[in-house]
Amino acid sequence: MASRDEMRRIAAESIAQGDATGWFERFYRQVGGDWDQVPWADRRPNPYLVAWLRGFGASPIRKRCLVVGCGLGDDAEALASGGFDVTAFDISPTAIEAAKRRFPRSGVDYVVADLLQPPPGWTAAFDLIFESFTLQVLPPEPRHAAMHAMARFVAPGGRVFVLCRAREADEPIGDLPWPLTRDELATFEQAGLRILSVDVVRDDEQPPVRRFQALFEQPLA
């Protein structure tokens, strides 16, 4: 049976071979549909996303949203239910097929794609980018490349909503998933976005996990 330790072993092998993302498909295939073995597959929308959607002021109807590393699809479905026109992608074909099976009547466009080599048609194409817990499983160099890629996806006036593990700069990075620092989040600003908010939240895991909930905006041209 796969476990968090097994996930880390598979990820470490892939990263050592210069492939920062290919391990996702290998891991999804290894669990063989036993989603309880996938640490991030809660099979419910992220509660921080749910809370954010409840407080969403302007009508999102017809606004295009891109979900990064969508996994089994719960966050994408929550955004679609909130009125967004959602494209959701994952590098793992197994994950995308699972999402389609779980939500056979979905209006979400589920696609296989690589965040580090994205389709050119996604440039400036989305009003909202939602990223939850993907950056924290990437090593520094591909992590920064991914942040620049996400910034390029945002249409003028659009936003990037990020959820990730948090740490102070003087704290040890620990094992995968690797927490981000505030300085790393500033990469979005270096990529041309304007910071709207960075909040530190604690979830209900035991022990509690400290996370950043951050919102960035693409300035109007």
List pLDDT tens digits, range 168-199.
999 999 999 999 999 999 999 999 999 999 99
Q: Which residues contact 125 (CB under 8 A, 6 or more apart)?
A: 64, 66, 153, 155
Q: Which residues contact 162 (CB under 8 A, 6 or more apart)?
A: 131, 132, 135, 185, 188, 212, 213, 214, 215, 216
Res 60: pLDDT: 63
Is 25 among the domain residues?
no
SS3 labels along 173-202: CCCCCCCECHHHHCHHHHCCCEEEEEEEEE
How far apart, in whole angstroms, are the C-alpha atoms of residue 54 and residue 147?
26
Is 35 among the domain residues?
no
C-alpha pair distances (Å), 80 with each of 65, 74, 99, 159: 9, 10, 14, 16
Closest CA to 76 of 40, 93, 94, 100: 100
How far apart, in whole angstroms, are the C-alpha atoms of residue 85 and residue 64?
5
Is 190 among the domain residues?
yes
Is 10 among the domain residues?
no
Res 39: pLDDT: 85
Q: Is the peptide bond before 219 cis (omega within 30 degrees of 0)?
A: no
**pTM tops 0.85:** yes
In the chain, how many domains are there?
A: 1
CA–chain centroid gap for 137, Å, is: 10
User: Around Cβ 164, how many Cβ atoms within 10 Å?
Assistant: 22
Q: Which residues of the chain have pLDDT under 70?
A: 1-2, 56-61, 221
Is 32 among the domain residues?
no
Res 1: pLDDT: 41
72: CATH:
3.40.50.150
Res 152: pLDDT: 98
Residue 123 lies in domain: 42-217
Residues in the chain: 221
Is 157 among the domain residues?
yes
Is 124 among the domain residues?
yes
Element (H, E) at 126: strand 126-132
User: Given CA atoms 103, 64, 131, 28 in this order, what sign does their dihedral have?
Assistant: positive
Is 11 among the domain residues?
no
Res 59: pLDDT: 60
Structure tokens at 201: 């939240």
Alpha helices, DSSP H only, in 87-163?
93-102, 140-153
SS3 state at 128:
strand
